[in-house]
Amino acid sequence: MDNHSDSVASEHHEPLPDPFGYNDGYGGPPAKPLVELEMTRLSAELRRKPSWWTKCRDESILSKWREEALAQVKHMNETHIDYVLKELDGYANLRDEASGAEVSCYDRIWQSDTLIPAGLKERIITGAARLEDVPESEKDWHPRSNGQVLDLVHPSLYPIVYNRTLSYPEDSNDRSPAALQVRLEPEEEDYYISQRFQWLPTDFEISEDGASAKSQSYINNLHPIEHKDLYGAIEGLIAAYIPLFERVLTDSIPENEVDPERTDNQYSSYCSNGDECNHCDRRCEGRRFIPPDIWDEGYEAGSLEERQIKYTLGGRTIQVIVKLANIHLTPEKPKYGGGSWHVEGMKNEAIAASGIYYYDEENITESRLAFRTAVAGPESYEQDDEEGCMSTWGMGRDDPCVNELGSVITCQDRCIAFPNTYQHRVSPFELADKSKPGHRKIVALFLVDPAIHRPSTTTVPPQQADWRASGISANPD
């Protein structure tokens, strides 16, 4: 994270925010006004341009971008656009040339198109092909996916079943038959905690320099002998992902205050004659809405890059839940309708961040991963002024309190990482050539909050009967 400003600390050991409990009462971050969300969408669109990090420092190019933006605005004025253009320099400073890591469509979401070496990609493709090469009767098509989503490795198979799954003690190396007991149960009763199941993570030891990862036991639902080569590839993938994960975790530390407040998040209304209106006066038909404006000080150079605490994973043992899945389209089923809004796991899994590697695609139209987040309801508006609330935040009475944050184009070779506090959804896509089949293939890495330990495959032996018959156990030497 060389391009972040100097940090006052490089360790963080407290649990990070999770998505559970938002909107129970007044939880969640403040709602962003529509004009500010339009600002972040403009910024993301500009940062999709080739070599944007050098172009953003060319005044002639910035002038052209300003003109193009003014021709397309819905809520912004010149002041908002100028703020976005100045802010690009901060995003350029955050970009890491070595890993290609850069902020994606919204703050705390990171991406890279050059993170994975070609050799590692080929190892993943080869290993995944072995998982695909099974009889049709053995293929695990995801429920309610219209036979389009093929699960190769999925954590919902053979998870921990509370008060049933056998495990070894966490505080002992005793692996004798007598030590294997039913001891796992939910920590507490909570709406966000499953009382029945928990996904099983794998412990990975990260080298001090963060350049390598080594699994300490098996990956659930991936046979460690039959797929030994894929184990090595996944270890390489996790090691490659450390720079992205560290950035997401760093940006998730509340003290770093990464999500900028670009506007004053309140609005005004004026009569056509320039006098300020009474918000509650419905008789004033000449009222003109004034959206939230930029703070008086404007964009402060260096503020976007500032981080007080840096989250490092080197030298730690991290817990990761691994998933591999494909989406297959055919001339008979040429369209994928998209997924549902969700976060990964429940509070049991304590997932802090997700990483998705899009390693292979063929004959499909542009695909995106969309993001939104739960927010607290708007506060800075006059009582019963539903029109002002809708114009400012896009929220009416009884509407869900969420901000849509934008979307990432999920092109081949792209790696993305994002906090689990953001809900995400796969957007619809279809075959480019309707006469031929097509596909999209991913590896997903769900990172457990490093400050929270979860029962893992280190202490829970395989629950697959055929694995046990072949003598595979927890953390085999």
10-residue mean pLDDT profile of the chain (477 residues): values are 50 89 66 95 98 98 98 94 98 97 98 98 98 95 95 98 96 92 91 95 98 98 97 99 98 93 73 47 56 87 94 97 98 97 97 99 98 84 71 84 96 99 98 98 99 97 87 64
pLDDT score, position 455: 97
CB 149 within 8 A of CB 333: no
Separation CA 4–CA 261 (nearest Å): 19
Q: Which domain holds residue 420?
A: 95-262+301-469
CB 454 within 8 A of CB 201: yes
- Report the relative pairing of strands 335-336 and 317-329 from DSSP bridges: unpaired
The model's pTM is 0.92
Counting the structural domains of the chain, the total is 1
Looking at the domain assignment, is residue 428 inside a domain? yes
The enclosing H or E element of 466 equals helix 465-469
Give the bridge partners for 327, in sequence order: 149, 440
Looking at the domain assignment, is residue 78 inside a domain? no
Amino acid at 162: Y
Looking at the domain assignment, is residue 52 inside a domain? no
Looking at the domain assignment, is residue 386 inside a domain? yes
Looking at the domain assignment, is residue 70 inside a domain? no
Which of 254, 202, 232, 452 is closest to 348 using CA atoms? 452
| Extended beta strands in 216-306, E state | 268-270, 288-290
Which of 111, 107, 71, 65 is closest to 86 using CA atoms? 65
Looking at the domain assignment, is residue 281 inside a domain? no
pLDDT in tens, 453-473: 999 999 999 999 989 777 777
**Tokens of residue 465, six digits:** 């009967």
Separation CA 130–CA 135 (nearest Å): 12
pLDDT score, position 381: 63
Helix, strand and coil in the chain, % to nearest 5: 25, 25, 55
pLDDT score, position 313: 97
Looking at the domain assignment, is residue 268 inside a domain? no
Which of 351, 456, 325, 416 is closest to 108 using CA atoms? 416
pLDDT score, position 27: 63
Looking at the domain assignment, is residue 365 inside a domain? yes
Separation CA 273–CA 313 (nearest Å): 60
pLDDT score, position 288: 64
pLDDT score, position 279: 43
